[in-house]
Structure 1
């Protein structure tokens, strides 16, 4: 069995996409997953399954369409991938709360960083299906525009580390 996290975009942030943790957990259980739980109230569904990543992603997306009445982006990562995302953080010299892992659907490429605009002190680096951004003074002050992550979802490195730890305990 593989431990996975489904990172759901724009849930319980700025008044959009309200999805209480209990409802999210029920979605995971309705998908037939094992060891279903959530982590904080921002769209993190942890579970175990024998199914392939693409299959679990589709099951969750179908349930979210039924819940919200519209498609919602979902990014599924295995326990190994989340642990690797934490280990590969190129900005460990910055506060973990100010470094975001922007999870995206496709493989990252240098052209994605090259498209960034309004860069003022932010540092960026590529990871596997993610882009790391160190926001230095904090994300609230940033004017950074990074088109590659517009349809992605981000978690700070504190959350990445905790999710990886929780997933490790599920395998």
Structure 2
């Protein structure tokens, strides 16, 4: 039986010349952790691989190994390809007429506390919009993401949860690469 495809999304590597990890080195590190069929996608820390291990176990192993190897902490969030497909299908901003350049998703390491969600839902930054659904935040940014107030740091601070954000083109490519 094939091992399930999974996607690991690393927070804050290779941004602005800081916290550098070469993708070839990251791939080798994953292979040492016995992850199978490891692929990387762009320099911002996206991994596709196969494994029967629990997502949280993989997250912990990768975080510890990166810290030991490179001397800095990198939050890692893992989702299965099935979970990623479900997210694509349930994004309330994604349809046949959507401009995917305006769509992003913030992955939360774990579910935020209800009171923190309630608080962040009172924040509006029109014309940008967001919907929190479990461990993800679906984003629609009218302008450029880097100009929006609905940044990764905004959600981490307000929800008190480690997070990382990807644009919709990256999400669709990761889904494509994770197919059997």
Number of corresponding residues: 168
1:152 to 163, 172, 176: 163
Paired residues of 2:110 and 2:161 also in contact (CA < 8 A):
no
Q: Return structure 1 stretches of 4+ with deviation > 3 angstroms.
A: none
Q: In structure 2, the residue corresponding to 1:65 is in which secondary structure?
A: helix
Quote how far apart the aligned CAs of 1:78 are: 0.4
Q: Look up the match of 2:136.
A: 130
Distance 1:57 1:94, change over 3 A: same
TM-score by length of 1: 0.88
Paired residues of 2:127 and 2:141 also in contact (CA < 8 A):
yes
Q: Look up the match of 1:166.
A: 177
Alignment gaps of 5+ in structure 1: none
Quote how far apart the aligned CAs of 1:115 are: 5.4
Q: Look up the match of 1:20.
A: 22
Q: Look up the match of 1:55.
A: 57
Deviations, residues 106-144 of structure 1 (Å, cap 9, x unaligned)? 225542642546x13111112331101111112132233
Cα RMSD (Å) of the superposition? 2.0
Q: In structure 1, the residue corresponding to 2:37 is in which secondary structure?
A: strand
For 1:101 and 1:84, the matched residues in 2 are separated by 13
Paired residues of 2:103 and 2:140 also in contact (CA < 8 A):
yes
